[in-house]
Structure 1
Amino acid sequence: MSEATATQNSSARNKHCPPPPRRNSKNCGGGGTEYLDITKEEFARIEDALKKEEFRKLFFEYCEEIQDPENRKLYEQEIKQFEAERGVDIRFINPEPGFVIKTSVDGVTKCFVNVAKSAELTRPSNKVCLNPETGNPDLSWSIPLAQAPPREDLDAQGKRCRVYDVIFHPDALYLSQRDSAFRKCLIDTALDAVEREFKVNLDRTNLKFPKLQFKGMARPIVIRTLSKNAPPEAAEPHPLDGISPAKPSADAGKPKIIPLKTQNVIAKPEFNVPKYVIKHRRDVDLTEYTYELDAKFSVTVPRELVIEIDLPLLKSTAECKLDVTEKSLYLLSDRPGAKYRLNLDLPYAVDDKRGVARFDTDQRRLCITLPVTQHSPRKQRAMHDSICQLNREDSGVESDIREEGNLHSNSESPVEELSDTVEENLSASGDTVNSPQSFATPVQPPFSTTTNFLKSSIQYQLPAKFDCNVLDNVMSLVLHVRNVQPESIAMLKNVKSLHLQFTSIGSGYYPTHYALYLQLPDECNAEISSAEAEAWENNVVLNLNMTASSENIHNYLVGIDASDLKEYTIQGKFKLAHKSRQSRKKSPPTPPISLSSSLDISVERSECERSVEIEIKPTNEVQSTCTANTTEDEDGLLHAADAVPKKVNKKQKKKNKKRRSLSESVCDDIKVYQKQQQQQQQEQQKQFLKEAAKILNDDSSNSPDDNSSPE
């Protein structure tokens, strides 16, 4: 066993030697590229001073005086005398060459540890003790040492390195030459002292012993101890003498010695794990900045993996083994003094056959570039199809136009959890939810009989816009809500009311819950026999089948639930031609009359009042065309005849610039065309009135009891 005492370590720094140049705090422990904290003005002053011959002469004389041994002895004597007046004894330790240990600091910076000797230190001592592990008698060594602060130096290639000095008594180095076990103990003691004092991590796996006795220039260090014969003026009372406990007397007895607990010895690894960095590299591809659905599908997957491994103790990779598979990387170096082993799992699958490895001899770094395997075209097409199914974007203006066959609703969505809960609630009644195959397929939602139709944990809202129409015994509601999930539709039907709920998915795949409660008025005789909901891309169509005719329904009540209802009036009804007009198709064919292009005709028959209402008016297109032609003709004539300038605004000027004047012959042709159109319209109106009169006569003949006259 070895035990290193550091009683003299605290006083191993020379405070009277010239201080080293100021260094950056980042570089003191890591060996950076900036070493002197110097400003531009100071550097310019030094440069100007070195250009003067007188300054260079004085500078050289100062260097010679410092290196002169006689001056050094005189300097040491003066320092000893000055410290003795303060009650401190000092000893100058001049390290003598021993041997050198070569290793690295934190696996990055090369360093050297000088194991030197000096007779000023205490000799190593030992004593016999029992080994707690084996119980056999063994020797316990106490090896005093001294350390100097680290310094920067250059190696054989001219690169910067770190140098540490650890000084022992000459007898310790003599014993290390005679006994290999003691030499190993001395090396471990020196490395422990460097790591403990300067808070660094040395690579003990790859130790080398170059043929050097000392690295760099030897610098003396100073050990200070309190003087036993202090001068009278130095013997002052200490301020803590009355507070701290008194020193025990000689008759107080021996103190109790508590044995130290032995720690389990950790086995030193055979190989060292080097430092490494994994970089994800990806080139800029302009196709990823388009508005396609699959443009940024694989934007987070890199194209290449760059792995940088620091190997400071290797000069080349000739004795290094590298094995790369699809998902792992293995590195092994069996070279004596540079034993490394790295087993790394890669984050992505790579193509090991197209990898490239390069070793940087300057930085002692191995750079491995591995291309990442991309998805096959078949898999990319499958992912593209899945994205098209998942992406149902709500733009807020209008829905995207897609083919009906590609709009499947069986993809995963945030409302699947809602659908599952609805199925659980409806399982008691024996109904099932049938998911449709497309948005255009009618959906037969289940009719729930549960009392709590709406969940209290979900906040519902009423559709902002909806329309209502009635025809015969069908009442139809169109709810203008986009991107409704068909499987989320659920209904609760009663005799006079219907409760509906569904969910819509927005552009951010965030679900919005809607609810609608419809109630028929009390004075209405019709009842709801059945209902069906149909989910489209832009709306939801709700059809209610009545037991009686729904034409007498003029208003209805709508709200989120039965407690909050608001009355709405049915604005319009579907208008169809009378049945007698459809029967006239069986009569002999007559020459077709193109009324849809010039006239807007509406026929409404009232069963209650037994009357027929006919409304005939020209279409908007004909009116706008005639008006535009007339105004253009008149404007052309006015502009040609009017020579007096008028003040008009800028918009009117732009309109006048865009218009082009017409000749007189063209204006005459336009007038003739307009007269012909008017004559054709008059003839078409006469023919239509004749046909309407025939329809009324047929109607009166079919119903002889009808005494009302047509309006």
Structure 2
Amino acid sequence: MTSLLEPNADEAQSMLNRLMLDTDPAAYSRMGGHPGGTPEGPGYTTLVPKPGLCVKMKTERNEKVFINVCISDNVPEPKDLTEAELIELLESDDPTGFRIPMSIGEPHAEMDKGGAGCTAYDVIIHPTFLKKVENSKLFQAFFIQVTREGIEGKFDIQLNQEYVVLKNRKSMGQLQEQNVRTKSKPFILDMGDKATEMPTPTPPVKPLVQEIPQTEVKKGPEPKFKIVKEPVDGHPEFMVAEIELPKVKTANTLILDVGEDRVVLDTRSNVYYLDIYVPYNIIQEEVGAQFNKSNKVLTITMPVQPLL
């Protein structure tokens, strides 16, 4: 294995490009959520983040974009990985075992130092992970790449891969107040066209990137669905929901929230909306979801809390 103990930014980005070449980018940039709205209720908190570092990019139209990487202790801390473990994860057949909790705020218009207009996005992560990003070129390139893909998927824009981490500026403009979710929720992994509908439930899939959603949209029509339990008789070990979403093209447009006994599915542009209760208590931290782009079926695997 190539040593990356002291890679520079170009070498780290090159390594990431090679490792991620044959991998579905959705597995890396799964952010969930949509712009607009203000969620309320337990598990959310309102905060103004602290500045961390500032990344300058451009859109495909050559418009300036700044990503304000901010910090807050209210955002969950991701699993601690070494560079070697990150490389091993990216080279594996299932590179979805590492999640980066983050909150992506609304774009806000700013003026750069030359007085020209630009757009800034505030992305909040845990302070410990920011230190890793600052101290490791590999983690920095990795984080910026998945953050870029997350912003692209969430706001339907295209950003160039080239970027510059500003040395003398920690943020562009005034950081915005955000409502962030402080508890984890399941996220959805796109399955390729060759994927087939699962005949039996599989262990939960944990996508690579996790965003703390901030939004709430109007309700769409309820899709067709069915829920089965396994085993069929007696108290189940887990339940599997299969939801038909023929108008959905990618998991980027889905927001899934699974509570202790409730499943809520929302979609961009109000295509579908599902809000149902289930008859058993769910182990929320172990819920997994997969969207099959071939048959347009979302499969949710929900482990059930055992009887006392």
Range of TM-score over shorter length: 0.3 to 0.5
Indicate the structure (1 or 2) with the bigger Cα radius of gyration: 1
Judging by fraction of residues, say which structure has more strand: 2
State TM-score, norm by structure 2. Answer: 0.45
| Higher RCO by CA contacts (8 Å cutoff, separation 6 or greater) | 2
Judging by fraction of residues, say which structure has more helix: 1
State TM-score, norm by structure 1. Answer: 0.21
